[in-house]
């Protein structure tokens, strides 16, 4: 069924330089929250002797990101008022301040003393972050010209991985040196600081005629072949990466790396390496396109997961293991740049928040299921089987994705 979209007048956009600063702050906070849940907390729990299958439960915090499409239409309709007013900014600012306050409250909940209260607080934090993410994605996509999306995506993922290093690396380092309370209060302060660009940037109005004529809806998105095949492509691309997501930190801990050392790897060396790679990947993406770069990076994932599987059976020296861990981290970072640069082109300009939310929900669903499965597999079958399975899944995606991408391209031609 053809889903041709109406032609819209050009809406007002923010200057690129100002927009990139806002994007960096927004996605730094989002990723900081995710890293605390999926990297910092699992490593701290493992250091406290918690079993791997229990640690795997943290992947359930992906549930809000998995089902946020259920309320994405409500958020998008409120965000894009029929009179042309955009309301992304109040959603983002209020949500980010709420997240900072909750992080501060969690500073008084030690992971080893009150497991249930910690998980309840993280669950609420995930709900707030997932809702803010709907508005953030729509805000980002609609303000970026198609020709600017390369750099915009670099800053988006760069900010995201800065948050990943902060919430995973810096949190672990501070917790190891000064304790949980100091670490979490530091996270809250950094979240407030990263909110300032959004707070100080006024959002321009959109096109009133377009916003009044199109009512954002899930049904509109799900009628588009581009979205349907895009969802399948997201699942294929992320299976291997997500299976190992919450097990990398515990694997390092079980192989003699202390939480403080792991924090340095993530928060210092990892940060510099990932940011450098994220910036540099923009050049090949611009020259060869994000799809081609994505296939190369999936090949790199296959190699690094295979090496982790071998390392599980044949322990490596600390330096070699650390280098392998940094390689995995960097490859994951640039893979997100390429994948989400492609996914951004699959969204409708009339409801970018909903369409992109669907792609993220597919990714989150894979993360929740594969992450939880990774904990069970590593606990009962070993790390080697877990990483070997991840390498196999990446190989399957490499063989299948070219045909899926072709169907997406044909779907876009039918729709426009």
pLDDT reading at 10 higher than 50: no
Structural tokens at position 277: 């790679």
The reported pLDDT for the residue numbered 6 is: 47
pLDDT reading at 204 higher than 90: no
Reference 34, options 59, 10, 16, 55; nearest CA is: 59
Q: Which residues pair with 80 in a beta bridge?
A: 86
Confidence of residue 9 (pLDDT cuts 50, 70, 90): very low
% of residues, the chain, pLDDT over 70:
90
pLDDT reading at 323 higher than 90: no
Q: How far is CA 380 from CA 50, 367, 374, 377, in A?
A: 15, 20, 10, 5
- 347-391, pLDDT tens digit by residue? 887 888 899 999 988 887 888 788 888 888 888 888 889 999 999
CB 25 within 8 A of CB 195: yes
The reported pLDDT for the residue numbered 7 is: 44
- 101-147, pLDDT tens digit by residue? 999 998 888 776 677 788 888 889 999 999 999 998 888 888 877 66
Q: % helix / strand / coil in the chain, to the nearest 5? A: 80, 0, 20
The reported pLDDT for the residue numbered 100 is: 94
Residues with Cβ within 8 Å of residue 311, at least 6 apart in sequence: 255, 321, 324
CA 59 distance to own-chain centroid:
13
Q: Please count the other Cβ atoms lying within 10 Å of the Cβ belonging to residue 196.
A: 14
Structural tokens at position 400: 């299948």
The reported pLDDT for the residue numbered 84 is: 75
Confidence of residue 12 (pLDDT cuts 50, 70, 90): low
Gap between the Cα atoms of 226 and 409, Å rounded: 7
Confidence of residue 1 (pLDDT cuts 50, 70, 90): very low
% of residues, the chain, pLDDT over 90:
23
pLDDT reading at 295 higher than 90: yes
For tokens 């392998």, the residue is 324
CB 27 within 8 A of CB 195: no
Confidence of residue 207 (pLDDT cuts 50, 70, 90): low
Reference 316, options 375, 392, 246, 252; nearest CA is: 252
pLDDT reading at 267 higher than 70: no
CB 173 within 8 A of CB 263: yes
**Domains of the chain by residue range:** 16-415
Gap between the Cα atoms of 139 and 145, Å rounded: 12
- 210-230, pLDDT tens digit by residue? 777 778 889 898 988 889 999
Q: What is the mean pLDDT of residues 258-286?
A: 79
Which one is predicted more confidently, 72 or 154? 72
**3.30.160.20, 1.10.10.10, 1.10.40.30, 1.20.1250.20: CATH of 16-415:** 1.20.1250.20
Q: What mean pLDDT value characterizes the chain?
A: 83
Q: How far is CA 260 from CA 43, 49, 317, 388, in A?
A: 10, 16, 18, 28
- 23-74, pLDDT tens digit by residue? 889 989 888 988 888 878 877 777 766 667 677 777 788 788 889 999 999 9
């Amino acid at each position: 069924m053809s889903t041709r979209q109406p032609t819209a007048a050009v809406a007002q956009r923010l200057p690129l330089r100002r927009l990139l600063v806002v994007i960096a702050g927004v996605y730094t906070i989002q990723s900081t929250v995710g890293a605390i849940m999926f990297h910092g907390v699992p490593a701290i729990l493992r250091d406290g002797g918690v079993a791997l299958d229990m640690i795997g439960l943290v992947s359930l915090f992906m549930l809000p990101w998995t089902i946020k499409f259920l309320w994405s239409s409500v958020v998008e309709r409120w965000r894009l008022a029929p009179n042309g007013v955009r309301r992304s900014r109040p959603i983002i600012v209020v949500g980010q301040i709420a997240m900072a306050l909750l992080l501060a409250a969690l500073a008084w909940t030690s992971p080893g003393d009150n497991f249930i209260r910690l998980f309840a607080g993280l669950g609420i934090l995930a709900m707030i972050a997932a809702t803010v993410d709907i508005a953030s994605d729509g805000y980002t996509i609609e303000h970026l010209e198609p020709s600017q999306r390369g750099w915009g995506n670099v800053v988006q993922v760069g900010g995201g991985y800065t948050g990943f290093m902060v919430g995973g690396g810096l949190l672990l380092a501070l917790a190891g040196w000064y304790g949980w309370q100091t670490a979490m209060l530091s996270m809250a302060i950094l979240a407030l600081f990263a909110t300032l660009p959004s707070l100080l940037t006024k959002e321009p109005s959109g096109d009133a005629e377009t916003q009044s004529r199109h009512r954002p809806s899930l049904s509109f998105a799900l009628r588009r072949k581009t979205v349907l095949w895009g969802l399948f492509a997201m699942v294929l691309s992320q299976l291997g990466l997500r299976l190992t997501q919450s097990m990398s930190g515990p694997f390092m801990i079980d192989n003699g790396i202390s939480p403080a050392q792991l924090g340095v790897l993530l928060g210092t060396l990892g940060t510099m390496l990932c940011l450098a790679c994220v910036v540099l990947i923009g050049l090949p993406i611009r020259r060869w396109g994000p799809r081609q770069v994505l296939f190369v990076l999936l090949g790199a994932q296959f190699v690094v997961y295979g090496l982790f599987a071998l390392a599980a059976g044949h322990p490596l020296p600390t330096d070699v293991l650390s280098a392998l861990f940094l390689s995995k981290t960097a490859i994951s970072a640039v893979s997100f740049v390429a994948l989400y640069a492609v996914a951004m082109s699959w969204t409708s300009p009339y409801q970018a928040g909903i369409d992109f939310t669907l792609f993220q929900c597919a990714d989150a669903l894979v993360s929740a299921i594969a992450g939880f499965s990774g904990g069970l597999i590593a606990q009962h079958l070993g790390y080697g089987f877990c990483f070997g399975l991840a390498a196999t899944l990446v190989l399957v995606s490499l063989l299948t994705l070219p045909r899926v991408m072709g169907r997406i391209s044909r779907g876009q031609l039918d729709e426009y």
